């Protein structure tokens, strides 16, 4: 017989995530997510060093494929800012975007296996400080990488942030103006005075930025030809004008890249980081769900795996569940997966039939959107928050950020994990054994489980027990005692009689009693 608790659990794990009952809410929400997704898909593709069409197709896959297999009512999948660093480095390392696509297929297969083997809880084993450090590192890289495009440098002539002379020479005044306008509007649109007005809050900030930037580009460029932006300052979709051109422009994956060992390293990196970002986004979006539904993480990993396998096959960037589009979905009133499907369908229609309008968007606009996204990931308040929480959080956070900036994302996360483990082990080492002395009497109390890491500390305490003294080892607070620790205790007890030491054991792995140069009590053996 099913209990009420089991029924409630089943409802949480199998929520009503797809229904036409909420069509009146899901259609407007899907349109809002679509308007938010267009500039983000394009901007992330450019920041990743991939063709713009790859970002748009990834948005379609996230909306049309991942949504069909997902168990989350409100999460929206698509290309993620958190993967830009990996994609950019991987394309350069592997030599081509087509070779990179094979890594995306393999990453999707790994995610599918992770879901099948129920590894959807892996996010819970990564410390919050490391996760926040990962996001902050991504944010800083986004900010540093978008400055040249915001200043009007064409993609093919993009100087590095480390070359200030080249960076601030040949600046496009109009591109800079558009970038500043876009940033100012994005910041304004997040202020409480805007959010308090429901009608204004429903209008996506990125949509206003895109429309305003196109207007400024046309008006100022027409009035001042010397400031006009050239073709290199706008999105280039290679004259895409219909479904056949869309299919023709999709990059085919290079099967020959399977012989390159680096492909497998990239695949593992994408699978791990994409899964972490997905699971974190899933937790965040569940908190925004007005119906308080629970998204099954194992099923979400399967859905993401299938989606990424499709992405690799159709020439798209890898996808994850993304919090920006998901929160836009929730705030716009979305209730089921239908809103995400609608957003994916609108992306497909717009790219297949309205690409000429997308090419009007200035690159400086996309740079501003990514600058704003990067700032939100790495804002100074985050660093201060981690500092106030103590060195055990601040140091792993900072180490993760610095390592990501110096090396790559996966190495940063691994080094951050090692740093967190160090503090964990140090805490366990220091607090596991407490020592109390009174004259020639000593009490060693195991306050928690003791392992080989505590062996040297315990040996130092045992060495200070005086001859003809008394030692009590109280292990009632430990559920586990490492065999190495028990071996040292047995050795000490075995030599206690020769030094006139009385040893009392309390619940040392089920053993209690007094050992040493005393008359044995009932149930107590004399040490020999």
Give pLDDT tens digits for 140-162: 887 888 888 888 887 767 777 77
Distance CA 165, CA 169 (A): 6
356 compared with 310, residue with greater pLDDT: 310
Average pLDDT over residues 211-232: 89
pLDDT at 122 over 60: yes
Give me the DSSP letters along 112-168: HHHHHTT-TTGGGGS-HHHHHHHHHHHHHHHHHHHHHHHTT--GGG---TT-HHHHT
Q: What angle do CA 366, 368, 369 make, to 5 degrees?
A: 65
| pTM over the 0.95 mark | no
- Residue 304 confidence (pLDDT): 97
Share of the chain above pLDDT 90, in %: 38
Looking up tokens 């990993």 gives 301
Q: Can you give the C-alpha Rg of the chain in angstroms?
A: 30
Q: Exposed (0-12), middle (13-18) or buried (19+): which is 428, by Cβ within 10 Å? A: middle
Whole-angstrom distance, CA of residue 265 vs CA of residue 263: 6
Instruction: Give the per-residue pLDDT at 521.
Output: 36
292 — alpha (psi -120 to 50), left (phi > 0) or beta? left
Count how many residues are written for the chain: 528
Q: Which domains are assigned to the chain?
A: 20-420 (no CATH), 433-515 (3.30.750.24)
pLDDT band at 453 (very low <50, low <70, confident <90, very high): confident
- Predicted confidence at residue 517, as pLDDT, reads 54
Half-sphere exposure of residue 455, counting CA atoms within 13 Å on the CB side?
10
Could you tell me which residue, 448 or 386, shows the higher pLDDT? 386
Per-residue pLDDT, 90:
94
> Which residue has better confidence, 182 or 516?
182
Q: What is the pLDDT of residues 79-119, one digit of tens each?
A: 988 788 889 999 999 999 999 999 999 999 999 999 999 98
Contact 386, 129 (CB under 8 A): yes
Closest to 32 (Cα-Cα) out of 328, 282, 281: 328
Find, among 111, 511, 90, 472, the residue nearest to 306 by Cα: 111
| Distance between CA atoms of residues 50 and 46, nearest Å | 6
For the ranges 247-251, 421-425, 499-503, the lowest mean pLDDT is seen at 421-425
Instruction: Tell the residue number behind the tokens 């030809």, with chain if given.
Output: 225
Beta bridge partners of 393: none
């Amino acid at each position: 017989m099913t209990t009420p608790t089991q029924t409630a659990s089943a409802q949480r794990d199998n929520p009503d995530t797809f229904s036409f009952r909420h069509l009146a809410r899901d259609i407007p929400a899907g349109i809002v997510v679509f308007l938010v997704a267009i500039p983000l898909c394009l901007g992330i593709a450019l920041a990743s060093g991939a063709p713009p069409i790859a970002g748009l197709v990834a948005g379609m896959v996230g909306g049309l494929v991942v949504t069909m297999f997902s168990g989350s009512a409100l999460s929206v999948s698509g290309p993620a800012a958190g993967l830009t660093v990996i994609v950019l480095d991987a394309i350069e390392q592997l030599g081509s975007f087509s070779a990179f696509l094979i890594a995306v297929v393999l990453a999707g297969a790994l995610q599918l296996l992770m879901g099948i083997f129920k590894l959807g809880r892996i996010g819970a084993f990564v410390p919050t400080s490391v996760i926040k450090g990962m996001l902050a590192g991504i944010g800083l890289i986004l900010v540093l990488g978008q400055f040249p495009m915001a200043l009007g440098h064409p993609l093919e002539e993009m100087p590095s942030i480390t070359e200030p002379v080249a960076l601030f020479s040949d600046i496009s005044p109009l591109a800079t103006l558009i970038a500043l306008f876009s940033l100012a509007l994005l910041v304004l649109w997040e202020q409480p005075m805007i959010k308090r007005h429901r009608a204004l809050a429903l209008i996506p900030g990125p949509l206003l930025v895109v429309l305003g930037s196109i207007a400024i580009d046309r008006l100022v460029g027409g009035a001042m030809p010397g400031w006009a932006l050239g073709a290199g300052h706008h999105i280039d979709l290679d004259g895409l004008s219909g479904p056949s051109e869309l299919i023709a422009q999709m990059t085919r994956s290079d099967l020959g890249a399977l012989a390159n060992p680096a492909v497998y390293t990239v695949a593992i990196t994408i699978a791990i980081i994409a899964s972490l970002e997905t699971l974190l986004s899933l937790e965040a979006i569940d908190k925004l769900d007005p119906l308080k539904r629970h998204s099954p993480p194992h099923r979400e990993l399967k859905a993401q795996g299938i989606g990424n396998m499709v992405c690799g096959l159709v020439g798209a960037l890898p996808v994850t569940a993304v919090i920006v589009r998901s929160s836009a979905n929730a705030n716009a009133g979305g209730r089921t997966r239908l809103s995400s499907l609608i957003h994916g369908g609108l992306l497909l229609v717009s790219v297949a039939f309205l690409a000429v309008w997308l090419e009007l968007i200035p690159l400086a606009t996309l740079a501003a959107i990514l600058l704003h996204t990067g700032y939100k990931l790495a804002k100074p308040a985050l660093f201060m928050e981690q500092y106030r929480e103590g060195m055990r959080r601040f140091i792993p956070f900072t180490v993760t950020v610095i390592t990501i900036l110096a090396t790559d994302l996966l190495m940063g996360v691994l080094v951050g994990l090692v740093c967190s483990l160090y503090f964990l082990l140090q805490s366990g080492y220091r607090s596991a054994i407490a020592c109390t002395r009174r004259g020639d009497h000593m009490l060693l109390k195991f306050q928690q489980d003791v392992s080989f890491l505590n062996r040297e500390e315990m040996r130092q305490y045992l060495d200070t027990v005086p001859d003809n003294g008394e030692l009590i080892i109280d292990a009632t607070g430990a559920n586990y005692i490492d065999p190495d620790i028990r071996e040292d205790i047995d050795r000490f007890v075995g030599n206690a009689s020769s030094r006139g030491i009385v040893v009392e054991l309390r619940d040392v792995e089920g053993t209690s009693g007094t050992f040493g140069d005393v008359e044995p009590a009932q149930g107590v053996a004399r040490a020999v």
